[in-house]
């Protein structure tokens, strides 16, 4: 490209690429970042949106929780094929049990009868139907109301453009790290650029990781041909990869592959020739010493799940799985121990964890951090605050686009259609999405808890509120729309903790006294957001901007 007869240099070309790659899908990227950041705490959002569960106050003893669940299972489902007990933790205040039949896979991710218990009393709790934080999580990478494949393609293209914008932004700003330590308030465009640079550089490793890992997570959607060439489906590919991480020492050395011990039958052989002997009844081992032994082996990793296969029989076995993953380099691999279900003795297990290849390790580390799957609470908070910085980076960039072009609009005396469109879309995205989220939370409590398909009504309210903000921004003057909607957001988020109390949820002082931070953190976060929106309102109100000269711009202040 040439400007005034002179060829553009690499930095100028990258500046152009950075500007337009950021703007084209900037509003979508903002929505992806906001909902993705909230998804780091989707469990907390879901618990808050089920006030029927707030009465459960777990103790500090995992032995007590397991015994409460076991008493319920022994009384109500003694002949089940398997039991699964998900113990309460810092992000879950209830005990969740899953009961499966004899012919069901006890380790399957789905299926079985899911029952929620009060962690202290064992009382069955019936919660309202809601998608909770899961809706925000799915919207983050599948949007809503679109075909899943097409939605993932759209998000994938947006993620790719953001990756391009980040790389081109690094190249464009030759003093980006120096500018990071410089902030000039009340300097108009310069201040917005300083804020954009600071939020970009401070969490730059996170921004690179989150976009790269987002592309990797969508890899099999965007580039499915390699997997389809070898495997029948993606599930078979993932199972093969997981199996490669969990090889016995003999398999790791290549011994015995394709062979079976002498006398072992092929799977499926002899079916119909002899009936499978029924397991004889036997008392289940005491869980207390088993849990104590596991806690000694995992001193810094609490027990997450207890699975009991063939309970109350001689073939019973008890499997314990840790709450946090083995490491970020081993995706979806959790420490586990297996005990004999009758004697309680630890079974010998020669399974070893195989180190992944370098490409697999990069994939595992980045995608595990992207999803925050199996990570502990401090790392989850670091990812959350980094997500907030990423959201602010996108928001300041979108605002900077308008601020940079405002003098030209003021000079010509009217706003062009393109400029006005960006203004409206900025308001709709940056303030409209938080207001829509608040509307989603209010709808959760206002819609009848016993109504059928109420979760879809909650989601519909989310989009209705978002659409109303767009219409409001379209009809009102730009400055007035910002001020009025910031006031609305402040009021909505400030009142949410009080509304929680009025609609059956645990009050903040009670949840804090009982260490129910899974609930209290949501209420406190809402007040923090209210303060931030109030602060933004004051800043916008005190900002004078450019002095309009004539035409339509004379009717409002930028």
184-240 pLDDT, tens per residue? 555 556 666 666 667 777 788 898 899 999 998 988 888 877 666 666 655 555 555
Considering only CA atoms, give the Rg of the chain.
28
Higher pLDDT, 347 or 535: 535
Which H helix or E strand runs over 317? strand 317-322
What's the mean pLDDT in 12-41?
Answer: 79
3-state secondary structure of 281: strand
Task: Please enumerate in sequence order all residues whose Cβ is within 8 A of that of 322, keeping only pairs 6 or more positions apart, or say none.
Answer: 298, 301, 302, 303, 304, 334, 335, 336
- Provide the mean pLDDT of the chain: 82
Four-point Cα dihedral 359, 205, 11, 400, nearest 10: 140
Q: Is the pLDDT of residue 489 over 60?
A: yes
Q: Residue 305 in contact with residue 85, Cβ under 8 Å?
A: yes
Please state the φ and ψ torsions of residue 337, each to the nearest 5 degrees. -135, 145
Give 311-337 pLDDT, tens digit per residue. Answer: 999 999 999 999 988 888 887 788 899
224-253 CB burial, b ≥16 within 10 A, e <16: eeebeeeeeeeeebeeeeeeebebeeebee
Cβ(127)–Cβ(52) under 8 Å?
yes
Write down the pTM of the prediction: 0.83
pLDDT category at 350 given cuts 50, 70, 90 is: very low
Residue among 84, 89, 91, 51 nearest 69 (CA) = 84
Q: Which two tokens mark 394?
A: 């996108």
Q: Nearest CA to 246 among 336, 176, 154? A: 336
C-alpha–C-alpha distance, residues 367 and 532, integer Å: 31
Mean pLDDT of 298-319: 92
Higher pLDDT, 9 or 419: 419
Nearest of 257, 253, 227, 248 to residue 239 by alpha carbon: 227
Helices within 246-357 (DSSP H only): 249-252, 287-297
Q: Give the whole-angstrom CA distance, residue 388 versus residue 210.
A: 12
Tell me, rounded to whole angstroms, the distance of Cα 215 from its chain centroid.
16
> What single DSSP character describes residue 47?
H
| 415, 552 Cβ separation under 8 angstroms | yes
Give residue-wise pLDDT tens across range 399-428.
888 888 778 877 888 788 888 999 999 999
């Amino acid at each position: 490209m040439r400007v005034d007869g002179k060829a553009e240099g690499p930095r100028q070309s990258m500046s152009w690429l950075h500007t337009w790659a950021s703007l084209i899908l900037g509003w979508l990227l903002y929505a992806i970042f906001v909902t993705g950041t909230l998804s780091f705490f989707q469990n907390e959002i879901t618990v808050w949106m089920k006030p029927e569960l707030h009465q459960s106050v777990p103790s500090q003893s995992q032995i007590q929780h397991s015994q409460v669940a076991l008493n319920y299972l022994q009384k109500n489902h003694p002949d089940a094929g398997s039991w699964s007990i998900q113990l309460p933790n810092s992000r879950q205040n209830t005990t969740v049990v899953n009961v499966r039949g004899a012919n069901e896979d006890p380790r399957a991710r789905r299926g079985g009868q899911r029952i929620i218990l009060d962690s202290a009393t064992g009382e069955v709790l019936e919660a309202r139907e809601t998608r909770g934080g899961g809706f925000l999580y799915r919207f983050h990478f599948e949007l809503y109301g679109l075909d899943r494949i097409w939605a993932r393609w759209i998000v994938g293209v947006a993620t790719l453009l953001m990756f391009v914008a980040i790389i081109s932004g690094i190249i464009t700003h030759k003093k980006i790290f120096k500018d990071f330590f410089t902030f000039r308030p009340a300097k108009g465009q310069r201040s917005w650029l300083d804020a954009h640079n600071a939020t970009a550089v401070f969490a730059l490793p996170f921004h690179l990781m989150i976009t790269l890992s987002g592309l990797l997570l969508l890899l099999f959607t965007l580039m499915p041909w390699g997997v389809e060439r070898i495997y029948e489906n993606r599930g078979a590919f993932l199972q093969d990869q997981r199996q490669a991480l969990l090889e016995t020492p003999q398999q790791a050395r290549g011994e015995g592959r394709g062979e079976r011990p002498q006398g072992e039958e092929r799977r499926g052989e002899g079916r119909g020739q002899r009936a499978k002997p029924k397991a004889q009844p036997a008392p289940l081992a005491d869980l207390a010493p088993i849990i104590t032994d596991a806690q000694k082996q995992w001193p810094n990793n609490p027990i997450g799940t207890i699975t009991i296969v063939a309970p109350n029989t001689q073939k019973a076995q008890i499997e314990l799985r840790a709450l946090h993953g083995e490491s970020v380099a081993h995706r979806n691999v959790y420490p586990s121990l297996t005990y004999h279900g009758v004697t309680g003795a630890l079974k010998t297990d020669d399974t070893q964890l195989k180190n992944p290849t370098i490409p697999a390790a990069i994939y595992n580390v980045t995608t595990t951090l992207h999803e925050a799957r199996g990570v502990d609470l401090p790392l989850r908070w670091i990812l959350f605050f980094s997500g907030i910085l990423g959201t602010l980076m996108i928001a300041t960039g979108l605002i900077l686009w308008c601020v940079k072009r405002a003098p030209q609009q003021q000079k010509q005396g009217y706003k062009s259609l393109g400029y006005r469109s960006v203004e409206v879309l900025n308001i709709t995205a940056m303030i409209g999405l938080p207001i829509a989220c608040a509307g989603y939370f209010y709808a959760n409590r206002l819609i009848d808890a016993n109504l059928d398909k109420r979760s879809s009504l909650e989601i519909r309210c989310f989009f209705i509120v978002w659409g109303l903000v767009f219409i409001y921004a379209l009809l009102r003057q730009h400055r007035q729309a910002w001020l009025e909607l910031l006031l609305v957001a402040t009021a909505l988020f400030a009142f949410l903790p009080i509304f929680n109390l009025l609609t059956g949820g645990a009050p903040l002082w009670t949840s804090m006294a009982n260490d129910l931070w899974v609930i209290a953190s949501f209420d406190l976060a809402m007040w923090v957001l209210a303060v931030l929106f109030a602060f933004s309102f004051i800043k916008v109100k005190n900002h004078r901007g450019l002095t309009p000269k004539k035409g339509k711009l004379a009717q409002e202040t930028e």
